[in-house]
Structure 1
Amino acid sequence: MSALDEKINEHFAGYVVRKDLVKAVKGNAIVPTYVLEYLLGQYCATDDEASIESGIETVKEILRKHYVHRSEAGLIQSAIKEKGRYKVIDQISVSLNEKTDSYEATFDNLGIKKVAVDSGTVKAHPKLLVTGVWCIADVQYEFSEDARTSPWVLETIKPIQIAKVDYEGYKEARARFTKHEWIDLLMQSIGFNPEAFGRRSKLLQLMRLIPFVERNYNIIELGPKGTGKSHIYSEFSPHGQLISGGEVTIPKLFVNNSNGRIGLVGYWDVVAFDEFAGREKTANKALVDIMKNYMANKTFSRGVNPMGAEASFAFVGNTDHNVPFMLKNSDLFEALPPQFHDSAFIDRLHAYLPGWEIDVIRGEMFTTGYGFIVDYLAEVLRHLRQEDFSNRPDLHFKVSEKISTRDRDAVYKTMSGFLKVIFPAGDETADDVEELLQLALESRKRVKDQLFRIDATYPDVDFFYTGSDGEKRRVQTVEEQEFPQFYYLKPALDPKQQDQSTDAVDDDVIEVEHEPRDTSETSAPAKPRTEEGHHVFSENRKGVSYDKLFGPYLDGASRIVVTDPYIRYFYQIKNMMEFVEMVIQRKALEDQVAIHLVTGPDDGNVQKQRELLESITEACIGSGVDFTWAFDGSGTAHSRDIVTDTGWKIVLDRGLDIFQAPMRRDGFSLGDRLQEHRMLKNFYVTYVRQN
């Protein structure tokens, strides 16, 4: 086990499970992850390998004996008849038969209906009346001569969930972990290997948990296929319900006027709408209107008395085009059905999670480490819905008073959710709050900026916050930094004007600023190709390469010195090779350029490091580039910069290590081949003219 896994088992013994065990026991049983982990938590909540192996076999046996496959439903029915009683694992729903004044259960996989249920069971588990719930149930068979009486009887039922959680113990154990360890624990709990994700990417994954800890929180995530958008809502918690966007009706979602029974919003913490996008889809206007009222006021009415509920809404769907296409031709909500591509509906969204920043899920991204039994974490998150952490950021920062009350509420709800997930005991620092506040502001700003495109009557809002020093700190979205030539297009422009304005922008210029912009312009102004300045690049943005960052500043140089103490591991030396390749491609064939690297030794495997660096020297023979390298003799060099004999010094806080590591082990990816298609780490670059 890793050091983190040992720590997890030490402080959360009995509430964690090794996440790769789910695959080991699942087989062909089509059950949610929380069902499997509930069983694993009963029998495999240990770090003893022998006990784990024994527990796996026990869980497999339980599933083999009691999980009902549809194809074997007849066999299980026969077993119930012959034995008189049998335990099954199935998805069960209950309805009231008004003709007989009795409750009747339906077993989804077992295929039996009209199973008698007593009123006490229904009162104890009211969700059974709304939709199917996974349960372990004892079913009896009692034949009756009366044809109106069903032979099936539900004797006992137990929804698959942890009954009680020690919340104070959870907070105390949280204090034993650093912020970074806790975030990695949460990542492993939702099934992912933390090492496969950058800092911002981890926070975006955890942002999907906010609807489970915040009441009446509305979030949308649109992005490419295969990024796991619906996984959290279908597999993670027994308190969330995932439904197809095209299958929802007013009675199912809100209230049935014929019997007054409340719908999904009354029984579930989160209602997620899968496959929500699609321009060809249509939606009932009355449903959209009720949804808008509920999202704004937490209440709904169908001509009777107003009713309230606490369910959060999550909308997930696939985009048809990439981000620059959407920004140039429409907006980031273009994939929504026409009835939902409505300014009043969109304005009620608290956050827009940028799905295009999340990588397509691959096998190597899943964890083999320990994480919370998802049902345990789901119960903790449900308890946290009672708390309100929205005022805690005010202890350190002040959000702009120029934004509307709706914008402010959205930002504070996102902040409250983040703090509940990561800092449930309230021990966050100002730096911790600032990192989350920037993401919360950005998530709402993405909604508001697109609203301005859709409906020009919405004001252009300046999203900023101030710290204790009184300095205004403006927030930008990643796509705003990456595609300024399209982001600032105004909705009033006709296509010809847009084409003229975007043609004037030099695509090779990198524009990264945190200063206020004059958004009356239709595109960002071009900058000189070489000038002094300091630029900050946000994590997860793309479109950056060594050629764009350094190329113009290296032109004409005959000697380039790169100082970076961490050109040690293979991927770092590969970065150095790509830097050399860039110089070779830019220089004239007849020119000779010397590149000298000053770095530090890899104490773990210095011989391999030497071999790889020498291979760059050998590869450059005959290219017009002379590559040399040396270890820093003093052992004290910490600077990371590039210095040319033409007078330029380029200071980098990360040296050449600016890209997130591609994780694909087999096959191909554009990120492996082209730097512009790699996601960045957060870094800065400063250009200084020395003479």
Structure 2
Amino acid sequence: MTLKEKIIHHFEGKVVRKDLTSLVKGSNPVPVYVLEYLLGQYCAIDDEMVIQAGIEKVRNVIRENYVHRSDSEIVKNKIRSTGSYKIIDKINVSLNDRANIYEAEFANMGLTKVPISDAIVDANKKLLSGGGVWSIIEMGYSHEDGIAVRWVINDLKPIQVSNVDLEEYIQLRKEFTSDEWIDLMMHSIGLNPEYFSKRDKFIQLSRLIPHVENNYNFIELGPKGTGKSHIFSELSPHGVLVSGGDVSKARLFVNNTGNKIGLVGYWDVVALDEFEQEKGGKKTDGDLVKIMQNFMANQSFNRGKETYQATASMAFVGNTKHNVPYMLKNSHLFESIPDGYIKGAFLDRIHMYIPGWEVRILKSAVFSKEYGFIVDYLAELLRELRKSDFSPILDSKISLDGSLTSRDRVAIRKSFSGMVKLIYPHQELSESETIELLDFCIEGRKRVKDQLYIIDETFKSEPVEFKYRVLSSGQEFAPETLEKQNYFAAVEARQETEYSEEESEKLVPSFVDLKPHQFILKDNQTGISFKKLFGNYLKGATHITLQDPYIRMPYQFKNLLEFCMMLGNNKDPEAEIDFEVITWNTEEFMPDSIVFFEELQENVLDLGINLVYKFENHHDRYIVGNNGWKITLGRGLDIFEKTEGRFNVADMDQSRRKCKACELTYLNK
């Protein structure tokens, strides 16, 4: 079965085609989970006639029942005329203690102080949170004389799935491979996985960790237009997004007047959007930072004489002011957040810092048009999983370095637990899959700690090593943040260009210093080129063989041309190299490959490269030279991500291209 067929077969009625949302949304400012709740009732199967009928039904519901602010008076007239009418609106409830009644406020209808029964409020406590709850509300109107309020709330149903079967979900996960499940999750958050590397997928899915882990503290800073706030505003009815410049102690925690609990008491996730430097001279409330800092560490906060407990996760999303190399050279990666929060004690509470600068600006092509979970269904499952801790999976496989502080360990373990819940909810993952997730989670915490060493001198007195040991093999690993690797690679490349050829030999290993080793490339890593990977190991070779079964597409032939250019620049001008290429293609496209090879042969002759090719169906990928070195290639020469746009500097400079994850092994025969 294809992935689409497996999704529909196992989760019929719980998935929806993701492009339908945009078809019915139009210009309506309706959250995705509201639309998918409706689409899930009418369009949850793969039958085009049913889908088209369902789309029309949902459009009618939105047209007839969703309240636009501009049409509020028309809707009021319908309610008054008919006596009872269903509407879709966001509703918020507060207690009028003088009258001893609950009163509702409607976001789009513009109604305030509408009485609502205790029974409805008791059944839907989140109405009291201050964040508002989208609901289907049956409104009535009274024509009786002498009454203070004519509007009546007859019934209310929050727009959310009433119940889910977590055990069924966990069992069905076993029907999918890890890659299939990751792609299903990507479709579920509205993105086409074909446009994302494995690391990119991890970054996107990590935005869900606050929804699946209690008291998780998350931050993402990056360029505009990358969808940082989308998951917190649209994908779950259990999360609330508020402007970072519009928060207060009373709104977030407790209003001492009336002792009303704030957002953290009602929502699973409280996200602060546009969490950047203060505008208009407004200063951060120091008391707010202290209360938030205590809550992030202890899951409790004090207001007045009371101590309150809550499980809300905190997410901070905002834009960066400078590019990453500038920040690494001149400041730190937290430079754009308000000064009042740039304090070691506060930042040390953050469990994961996601590199928002790695996230591509979202264009229409990257949005999913395939089936994914109805987001409200997924939101309820993630909420159920908050009750569990999956971090003990680490204990039987990994030993974290003893220098790590308690906060470092908690951060890494909570991040790991969250990623396992998202990708391996059945808790079945191999050692390599465990290490893959752990490396990502350690990097997310190390990114925080590296900045703390810059921001707060006290952290330098107790340096830690972000290392771990694999219990089965005893091997030690020390993950590094990708931006540091890329920055130092760029600095090294610049330094090499500033030296003469003789001086440059001192900066890189000479041929006799080369040693067998393994080299691992990360997704999105930069600063890599064919010269850097292969140049020194192929010095002096007069016969080189490349075996790569996938040299078929035009961009793959371009890679081969660039490899030939590297060989030509790597040898003495008068020398020649016999270069044999062994590859394969399907019978249908073999003639095209022959044409490409013949054109390539002619063009590289002037480089002193005598290229010959043959077609043999082998799976191994390697380079071997008659100087004694063999390099095994995880992906052949296809190590770079496709560049975007017509004018991209990465087209001209390999070191600026993003890499695909792979391994290379250097062997001396």
Alignment TM-score > 0.5, same fold: yes
The reply to whether residue 90 of structure 1 matches residue 71 of structure 2 is no
Q: Give the aligned partner of residue 475 of structure 1.
A: 479
Q: Answer yes or no: is the 8 Å Cα contact 1:532–1:689 preserved in 2.
A: no
Measure, in 1, the Cα distance between the counterparts of 2:104 and 2:271: 25
Amino acid in the other structure paired with 1:17: V
Partner-residue secondary structure (3-state), 1:90: strand
Q: Give the aligned partner of residue 377 of structure 1.
A: 378
Instruction: Decide which moves more: 40-49 or 134-143.
Output: 134-143
> Residue 69 of structure 1: CA displacement?
1.4
Matched residues, number: 653
Q: Give the aligned partner of residue 287 of structure 2.
A: 286
Amino acid in the other structure paired with 2:464: V
Picking from 651, 658, 661, the partner of 2:639 is 658
Q: CA, structure 1 residues 567+347, in 2 after alignment: closer, same or farther (shift >3 Å)?
A: same
Q: Give the aligned partner of residue 544 of structure 1.
A: 528
How big is each residue's C-alpha offset from its partner over 1:610-651, in whole Å with a ceiling of 9 and x where there is no partner? 23333323444656544432213xx446241152x5555444
Q: Give the aligned partner of residue 664 of structure 2.
A: 685
Amino acid in the other structure paired with 1:638: D
> Residue 258 of structure 1: CA displacement?
0.8
1:231-630 equivalences in 2 (<5 Å): 231-278=230-277, 282-458=283-459, 459-467=462-470, 468-484=472-488, 506=495, 526-528=507-509, 530=511, 531-533=513-515, 534=517, 535-553=519-537, 559-583=543-567, 594-603=578-587, 605-620=589-604, 625-630=609-614
Measure, in 2, the Cα distance between the counterparts of 1:358 and 1:504: 24
Q: Answer yes or no: is the 8 Å Cα contact 2:264–2:311 preserved in 1.
A: yes
Q: Answer yes or no: is the 8 Å Cα contact 2:489–2:527 preserved in 1.
A: no
The reply to whether residue 217 of structure 1 matches residue 206 of structure 2 is no
Measure, in 2, the Cα distance between the counterparts of 1:99 and 1:250: 25
Q: Give the aligned partner of residue 502 of structure 2.
A: none
TM-score normalised by the chain length of structure 2 = 0.92
Amino acid in the other structure paired with 1:193: N
> Residue 121 of structure 1: CA displacement?
1.3
Measure, in 2, the Cα distance between the counterparts of 1:27 and 1:407: 45
Partner-residue secondary structure (3-state), 1:180: helix
Q: Answer yes or no: is the 8 Å Cα contact 1:542–1:678 preserved in 2.
A: yes
Q: Answer yes or no: is the 8 Å Cα contact 2:514–2:537 preserved in 1.
A: no
1:657-676 equivalences in 2 (<5 Å): 657-662=638-643, 664=644, 667-676=646-655
Measure, in 1, the Cα distance between the counterparts of 2:23 and 2:107: 25
Amino acid in the other structure paired with 1:680: C
Amino acid in the other structure paired with 2:394: P
Percent identity between matched residues is 46
Measure, in 2, the Cα distance between the counterparts of 1:413 and 1:674: 39
Amino acid in the other structure paired with 1:373: I
Uncovered stretches (5+) of structure 1, i.e. residues with no partner:
487-501, 510-524
Q: Answer yes or no: is the 8 Å Cα contact 1:565–1:640 preserved in 2.
A: no
Partner-residue secondary structure (3-state), 1:306: strand
Measure, in 1, the Cα distance between the counterparts of 2:174 and 2:545: 46
Measure, in 2, the Cα distance between the counterparts of 1:242 and 1:612: 53
Partner-residue secondary structure (3-state), 1:398: strand
How big is each residue's C-alpha offset from its partner over 1:307-365, in whole Å with a ceiling of 9 and x where there is no partner? 11000001111111222211111111111211111111110001111112222212221
1:635-654 equivalences in 2 (<5 Å): 635-636=617-618, 638-643=620-625, 648-654=629-635
Q: Give the aligned partner of residue 176 of structure 1.
A: 175
Q: CA, structure 1 residues 526+306, in 2 after alignment: closer, same or farther (shift >3 Å)?
A: farther
> Residue 303 of structure 1: CA displacement?
2.7
Instruction: Decide which moves more: 282-291 or 551-560.
Output: 551-560
Measure, in 2, the Cα distance between the counterparts of 1:126 and 1:132: 11
Q: Answer yes or no: is the 8 Å Cα contact 1:641–1:651 preserved in 2.
A: yes
Q: Give the aligned partner of residue 167 of structure 1.
A: 166
Q: Give the aligned partner of residue 134 of structure 2.
A: 134
Measure, in 1, the Cα distance between the counterparts of 2:652 and 2:94: 57
> Residue 114 of structure 1: CA displacement?
2.1
> Residue 96 of structure 1: CA displacement?
2.2
Amino acid in the other structure paired with 1:229: K
Q: Give the aligned partner of residue 503 of structure 2.
A: none
Partner-residue secondary structure (3-state), 1:394: helix
How big is each residue's C-alpha offset from its partner over 1:5-51, in whole Å with a ceiling of 9 and x where there is no partner? 10011111110001111111111211011011000000001111111
> Residue 579 of structure 1: CA displacement?
2.2
Q: CA, structure 1 residues 503+440, in 2 after alignment: closer, same or farther (shift >3 Å)?
A: closer
Q: Give the aligned partner of residue 208 of structure 1.
A: 207
Amino acid in the other structure paired with 1:431: S
Measure, in 1, the Cα distance between the counterparts of 2:120 and 2:607: 80
Q: Answer yes or no: is the 8 Å Cα contact 1:70–1:111 preserved in 2.
A: yes
Q: CA, structure 1 residues 683+108, in 2 after alignment: closer, same or farther (shift >3 Å)?
A: same
Measure, in 2, the Cα distance between the counterparts of 1:647 and 1:435: 33
Measure, in 2, the Cα distance between the counterparts of 1:485 and 1:542: 8
Measure, in 2, the Cα distance between the counterparts of 1:321 and 1:464: 30
Partner-residue secondary structure (3-state), 1:457: helix
Q: Give the aligned partner of residue 153 of structure 2.
A: 154
Q: CA, structure 1 residues 585+470, in 2 after alignment: closer, same or farther (shift >3 Å)?
A: closer
More helix by share: 2
Measure, in 1, the Cα distance between the counterparts of 2:334 and 2:61: 46
Measure, in 1, the Cα distance between the counterparts of 2:95 and 2:25: 34
Q: Answer yes or no: is the 8 Å Cα contact 1:546–1:579 preserved in 2.
A: yes
Partner-residue secondary structure (3-state), 1:565: strand
Q: Answer yes or no: is the 8 Å Cα contact 1:114–1:152 preserved in 2.
A: no
Q: Answer yes or no: is the 8 Å Cα contact 2:92–2:132 preserved in 1.
A: yes
Partner-residue secondary structure (3-state), 2:62: helix
Measure, in 1, the Cα distance between the counterparts of 2:647 and 2:79: 52
Amino acid in the other structure paired with 1:414: S
Measure, in 1, the Cα distance between the counterparts of 2:137 and 2:398: 52
Uncovered stretches (5+) of structure 2, i.e. residues with no partner:
499-505
Q: Answer yes or no: is the 8 Å Cα contact 1:508–1:548 preserved in 2.
A: no
The reply to whether residue 45 of structure 1 matches residue 44 of structure 2 is yes
Measure, in 2, the Cα distance between the counterparts of 1:329 and 1:291: 28
> Pairwise CA RMSD of aligned residues?
2.5
Q: CA, structure 1 residues 554+56, in 2 after alignment: closer, same or farther (shift >3 Å)?
A: same
Q: Answer yes or no: is the 8 Å Cα contact 2:621–2:635 preserved in 1.
A: no
TM-score normalised by the chain length of structure 1 = 0.89
Instruction: Decide which moves more: 272-281 or 233-242.
Output: 272-281
Q: Answer yes or no: is the 8 Å Cα contact 1:573–1:612 preserved in 2.
A: yes
Q: Answer yes or no: is the 8 Å Cα contact 1:279–1:335 preserved in 2.
A: no
Measure, in 2, the Cα distance between the counterparts of 1:42 and 1:242: 26
> Residue 593 of structure 1: CA displacement?
5.1
How big is each residue's C-alpha offset from its partner over 1:197-234, in whole Å with a ceiling of 9 and x where there is no partner? 11121112111111111100001111222221111111
Measure, in 2, the Cα distance between the counterparts of 1:617 and 1:607: 15
Q: Give the aligned partner of residue 493 of structure 1.
A: none
> Residue 465 of structure 1: CA displacement?
1.3
> Residue 595 of structure 1: CA displacement?
3.7
Partner-residue secondary structure (3-state), 1:434: helix
Amino acid in the other structure paired with 1:238: P
Measure, in 2, the Cα distance between the counterparts of 1:180 and 1:36: 28
Partner-residue secondary structure (3-state), 2:292: helix
Q: CA, structure 1 residues 198+503, in 2 after alignment: closer, same or farther (shift >3 Å)?
A: closer
Measure, in 2, the Cα distance between the counterparts of 1:400 and 1:622: 54
Measure, in 1, the Cα distance between the counterparts of 2:450 and 2:182: 30
Measure, in 2, the Cα distance between the counterparts of 1:251 and 1:387: 30
Partner-residue secondary structure (3-state), 1:371: strand
Measure, in 2, the Cα distance between the counterparts of 1:374 and 1:614: 52
Partner-residue secondary structure (3-state), 1:359: coil
Measure, in 1, the Cα distance between the counterparts of 2:361 and 2:565: 29
Measure, in 2, the Cα distance between the counterparts of 1:128 and 1:406: 35
Partner-residue secondary structure (3-state), 2:270: strand
